[in-house]
Amino acid sequence: MIHFAIVGCGHIAQKHAESIQFIQDAHLHAVCDTNRITLDDFIVKTGAIGYTNYSEMLDDPKINVVNICTPSGLHERLAVQAANAGKHIIVEKPIALTLAAVDRIEEACLRNGVKCAVVHPNRFRPAIVELKKMIDQGRFGTISHVNATVRWNRNQAYYDQADWRGTKAMDGGVLMNQAIHNLDLLLWLMGPVKRVHAITSTRLRAIEAEDVAAAILEFENGAVGVIEAASTIYPKNYEESISIFGETGTAVIGGPTASWIKHWVFEHSLPSENEQLIQIIEADPYGIPGHQRIIRDMVRAIRDDREPLVTLRDGRNALKLVLDIYAAAERSAMEREEVSQ
């Protein structure tokens, strides 16, 4: 039995707790939160041992894995502390808010011989799995361009739930919080990015970070990427999509979340085959929840002594792309200011 602990008993921790309960050979042993009311509620729901002191929880020798579900600005300290206690780590996205922070986590994991997985669960959606297969099989031929779109709503009430939301030091904006999953998918599907042009803005929400962003990417393989991300869509989430366009194939995965095949055409594929795949996805667009897949994989990675499927370096790459977009947006803003003077 692999024993898990969760630190941070907020909304996302519920997904972790529920996922652990579905996995054979996994057990939620302990939970930790500094808010006693939140912690007590979570203890009642899960039956786990409760701690308000993180260091005391890490002293529990029964714990094998710590799932970090706190605000992003706390990820580095908690991950390094867990690694130093000899615990494997599953950390919610983004893995941290700076590359230096990620590097400190990695150093601690290597020094202590522990594994670290990052929660990018969209890779496991059935439609995305099929998309990855087509790329790996070369069915698109030369890819001309790709598109990632996140048109969602996070209203002011969402940000007002806690004073850390929307801050650069603890949280970030639409790129760091919502679109980072799509950026991870682009890197997983297309490989490294060579050049970035971008504009970000805070248009509607009273927050420090951005609520809308647009970027153009040049991948190392020559393909062009277009990103649109917004948390300003009225009145609710509208669309999330990943689109890939090549010389011998076109695929669009979309819907309110990128879980449904909207367009799927490839050279030498029969329309009946395409339609059958679309129907299979329609019948079960979500498949096994991504959090379950990541937690189950950690159990197997520990048993097989291998890297998790979504690694610390994967988390670092997605974070780096967000930071590169921020840097490109700053350069663009400075250029516009110089022109206006």
What's 122-288's CATH class? alpha beta
Would you say the CATH fold of 122-288 matches that of 2-114? no
Q: How confident is the model at residue 338 (pLDDT cuts 50, 70, 90)?
A: confident
CA distance 75 to 148: 26
pLDDT at residue 337 above 90?
Answer: no
Q: How far apart are CA 196 and CA 210, in angstroms?
A: 17
Instruction: Specify whether the CB–CB gap between 255 and 151 falls below 8 A.
Output: no
Count of all residues that appear for the chain in the document:
341
Q: What is the pLDDT of residues 18-66, one digit of tens each?
A: 999 999 999 999 999 999 999 999 999 999 999 999 999 999 999 999 9
Domain boundaries along the sequence of the chain: 2-114, 122-288
User: What's the pLDDT score for residue 340?
Assistant: 78
Give pLDDT, residue 235: 97
For residue 339, pLDDT beyond 90: no
Other Cβ atoms less than 10 A from the Cβ of 113: the count is: 10
> Quick one: pLDDT at residue 6?
99
Domain 2-114: CATH class, spelled out: alpha beta
Dist CA 10 CA 110 (whole Å): 29
pLDDT digits (tens, 9 = 90+) for 131-173: 999 999 999 999 999 999 999 999 999 999 999 999 999 999 9
